[in-house]
Chains A and B, each alone.
Chain A
Amino acid sequence: DTGVSQDPRHKITKRGQNVTFRCDPISEHNRLYWYRQTLGQGPEFLTYFQNEAQLEKSRLLSDRFSAERPKGSFSTLEIQRTEQGDSAMYLCASRNVTGTAYYEQYFGPGTRLTVT
């Protein structure tokens, strides 16, 4: 059984650079979520997909952020022109909205971004 995986686990970048993160959800899960977690806080919702459709975006997701899930499987989160305030853990989660235990989101290990 493979859970949610994220790549890379750590990313250090200089301010102004672009970065892209990847999330591979559990294969049968049709919903995929992105969250951001800063130190000492709980995760904050960024966006989610139902299959390949992006259904909702948080106001936290500025125009420098873009997320895709082109084939309804893996997803990418890109941050353009990174700023120091983007430093955080980016968490991906997936769930299946049908079947049993549909309410539970399964989280990946996260990508820790440090912008210097």
Chain B
Amino acid sequence: DGGITQSPKYLFRKEGQNVTLSCEQNLNHDAMYWYRQDPGQGLRLIYYSQIVNDFQKGDIAEGYSVSREKKESFPLTVTSAQKNPTAFYLCASSIFSGVEQFFGPGTRLTVL
């Protein structure tokens, strides 16, 4: 079955530690995205990638980093520079821009 997987589902980290969230897709989509979702707010774009080895900052990229070495994978690192990292993180992909995005199940990160 084609789809997007994110791991882990829940993640706990101590303040000051970097943490990497995994996102893998087997839909053969060129574009991939990372969003952050906070209670009562819409999705906010962190980073997106249109193609392998290329990525662009979204609205709230500060304190985050990404890589896109393979078409299927788009990991997100939440660094210690992110002031308020506790949130629900969603990964998505699309064939290209201007079409629907398919979402993974999300990772809930809690920084203690």
Answer whether A and B are interacting partners.
no
Chain B residues with CB under 8 Å of chain A are: none
Chain A residues with CB under 8 Å of chain B are: none
